[in-house]
Structure 1
Amino acid sequence: MQIYTGIDIVENERIKKAIEKFGDRFLKRIYTENEIKYCKNSIPCFSARFAAKEAGIKAYYQAFKKILYFNQIEIIGKQGQPAEILLHLKENPSKAYKISLSIAHENKFSTAIVIIYTD
């Protein structure tokens, strides 16, 4: 088994400013419709998902040497349960894999770690 990791931290104010400046253009470029509905107007929620996507891009590249884009990654929120990561891929990698995600946010920062396990 091989293990690949990606980690990211985001200052919540940075995401707030991007949303204020670019509005829906930014939201729709980075987030899926489900993520926008789930987060509503919560900056820490959007920031944590941004960090999760960045961490996912890093881990996926290590594992498969392919670049993911923001719109290929969806963070599934479940109230009271850990978030999950869902990849929207045109073609699946040649080897089996499992993805684990952990996100956290507080007033100033949001962070995420993604771990990919391959056979």
Structure 2
Amino acid sequence: MEGKMEIGVDIVDLERIEKVYSRYGMKFLRKFLSGEEINLCLHKPQVIASLAGRFAAKEAVVKALGTGFSGKVHWKSFEILNDRRGRPFVRLVDSDCFPAGCSIKISIAHDRHAAVATALLERA
């Protein structure tokens, strides 16, 4: 029998992220990203799009989880990283926040105005 699947989607306006980042800089980034995530984003050709994509991906994951950012799930309970080919993946930092044996797939896209992310969570 296959596990139960849940999906989450989020879209983020790039201009919104650019304004907050311009105003608060690293303080803003450290609130929702790990050091490794920050490093990845700051070394991308389109920094704002990368930041917005990570932000949308984290929102999509907690929507798929069904908890939002509440209780024990917080921004740094998991990371959105990239494999060697550039494909995004989710690394659980605090696995107690997620169902045992769950698998999370993520997809991120952006254009000149917005970043969108979809998360697919499969419970064992």
**TM-score when normalising by structure 1:** 0.87
Which residue of structure 1 lines up, in the alignment, with residue 15 of structure 2? 13
Which residue of structure 1 lines up, in the alignment, with residue 102 of structure 2? 97
Displacement after TM superposition at 1:78 (Å)? 3.5
- More displaced, 37-46 or 4-13? 37-46
Taking a change above 3 Å as real, the CA distance of residues 96 and 10 of structure 1, as seen in their structure-2 partners, is: same
Whether the aligned pair in 1 keeps the contact of 2:72 and 2:97 (CA below 8 Å) is: no
Whether the aligned pair in 1 keeps the contact of 2:99 and 2:123 (CA below 8 Å) is: no
Which residue of structure 2 lines up, in the alignment, with residue 34 of structure 1? 36
Taking a change above 3 Å as real, the CA distance of residues 94 and 108 of structure 1, as seen in their structure-2 partners, is: closer
Whether the aligned pair in 2 keeps the contact of 1:60 and 1:68 (CA below 8 Å) is: no
Which residue of structure 2 lines up, in the alignment, with residue 73 of structure 1? 78
Distance in 2 between the 1:102 and 1:86 partners?
14
Name structure 2 gaps, 5 residues minimum. Answer: none
Name structure 1 gaps, 5 residues minimum. Answer: none
Deviations 1:53-99 (A, max 9, x none): 0001111126xx96621111211123643110112116264542111
**TM-score when normalising by structure 2:** 0.84
- Residue type at the aligned position of 1:10: V
Whether the aligned pair in 2 keeps the contact of 1:4 and 1:115 (CA below 8 Å) is: yes
CA-based RMSD of the aligned residues comes to: 2.1
- Residue type at the aligned position of 2:22: E
Which residue of structure 2 lines up, in the alignment, with residue 115 of structure 1? 120
Displacement after TM superposition at 1:49 (Å)? 0.3
User: How many pairs are equivalent?
Assistant: 117
